[in-house]
């Protein structure tokens, strides 16, 4: 299909050019001048494969948390490329919520989490949760910190709360599964891992856990 096909969205052509030159800044500029976030969300659902991929990539740079449902649904798209892009870009949206100050706090929490400063993560996340309890990522970060600190019951509670706020938070479901496993509750662990896999079928490590637990429970 040529680039002159009037039936193809312009977005698909921009995405094809991006695949060649890998210039994300130019891509975002071109897309933002031609499409609204709402239009990109629509194309992420009804567009052809190239348009869906392009829309998800653009939404990861241009949208905020309000596009969470669109990217969450794209995690189970029929196209592997769309699923991969959705997994990467939805993580950006989860950090793009709240006021500028709250976003900076969330960024600091995430940086401490990457640096494995779990006590500091728990402290900062607690302060943010007290200020804005509707930010799922704060609950998840504290839950992961609690998990790493060996506080597994607290980890399950926080991850459950993250999922109550953000039903697409596959990371929270995965950590919850790991925590239940260490709490010697294989049934709850399996349920959590299955939930994570339903949300994000690309989580191969979780798939292995599901298979192992299913066999283990069947053997009992």
Residue 141 has pLDDT above 50, yes or no: yes
pLDDT of 117: 98
| Residue 7 pLDDT class (50, 70, 90 cuts) | low
Position 8 scores a pLDDT of 74
Domain extents in the chain? 10-94, 100-219
pLDDT confidence of residue 108: 98
Q: Evaluate if residue 3 carries a pLDDT over 90.
A: no
Give the pLDDT score at 200: 98
Q: What is the pLDDT of residue 73?
A: 97
- Considering the domain delimited by 100-219, tell me its CATH architecture: Alpha Horseshoe (1.25)
Amino acid 136: pLDDT: 98
Mean pLDDT of 170-181: 98
Question: How high is the pLDDT of residue 6?
Answer: 52
Predicted confidence (pLDDT) per residue in 39-51, tens digit: 999 999 999 999 9
Mean pLDDT for the stretch of residues 185-210: 97
Please tell me the predicted confidence (pLDDT) of residue 5. Answer: 54
Question: Nearest 5°: CA angle at 159, between 158 and 165?
Answer: 90
- Same CATH topology for 10-94 and 100-219? no
Task: Supply the pLDDT for residue 2.
Answer: 40
Q: Which two tokens stand for residue 167?
A: 């039903």
> Of 163, 146, 153, 147, which Cα lies nearest the Cα of 200?
163
Q: Is 115 exposed, middle or buried (0-12, 13-18, 19+ CB in 10 A)?
A: exposed
Does the pLDDT at position 220 exceed 70? no
Mean pLDDT of 88-97: 96
The string over 118-133, giving b where at least 16 C-beta atoms fall within 10 Å of a residue's C-beta and e elsewhere, is bebbbebbeebbeeee
CATH ID of 10-94, from 3.30.450, 1.25.10, 1.10.3470, 2.40.30:
1.25.10
What is the pLDDT, as a whole number, of residue 219? 73
Please name the residue that has the structure tokens 């905020």: 64
pTM equals 0.92
Q: How many CB atoms lie within 10 A of CB 106?
A: 23
> What whole-number distance in Å separates Cα of residue 185 and Cα of residue 176?
11
**Over the chain, what is the mean pLDDT?**
95
Digit-coded pLDDT (tens) for 117-128: 999 999 999 999
């Amino acid at each position: 299909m040529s680039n002159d096909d009037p039936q193809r969205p312009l977005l698909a052509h921009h995405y094809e050019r991006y695949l060649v030159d890998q210039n994300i800044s130019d891509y975002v500029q071109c897309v933002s001048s031609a499409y609204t976030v709402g239009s990109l969300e629509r194309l992420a659902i009804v567009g052809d494969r190239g348009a869906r991929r392009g829309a998800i990539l653009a939404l990861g740079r241009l949208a905020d948390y309000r596009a969470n449902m669109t990217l969450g649904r794209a995690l189970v798209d029929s196209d592997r490329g769309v699923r991969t892009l959705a997994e990467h870009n939805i993580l950006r949206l989860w950090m793009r919520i709240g006021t500028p100050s709250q976003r900076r706090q969330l960024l600091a929490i995430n940086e401490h989490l990457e640096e494995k400063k779990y006590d500091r993560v728990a402290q900062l996340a607690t302060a943010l949760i007290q200020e804005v309890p509707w930010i799922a990522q704060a609950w998840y970060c504290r839950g992961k910190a609690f998990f790493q600190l060996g506080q597994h019951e607290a980890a399950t509670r926080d991850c459950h709360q993250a999922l109550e706020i953000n039903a697409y938070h596959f990371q929270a479901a995965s950590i919850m599964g790991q925590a239940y496993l260490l709490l010697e509750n294989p049934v709850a662990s399996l349920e959590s891992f299955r939930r994570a896999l339903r949300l994000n079928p690309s989580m191969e490590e979780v798939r292995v856990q599901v298979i192992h637990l299913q066999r283990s429970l069947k053997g009992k």
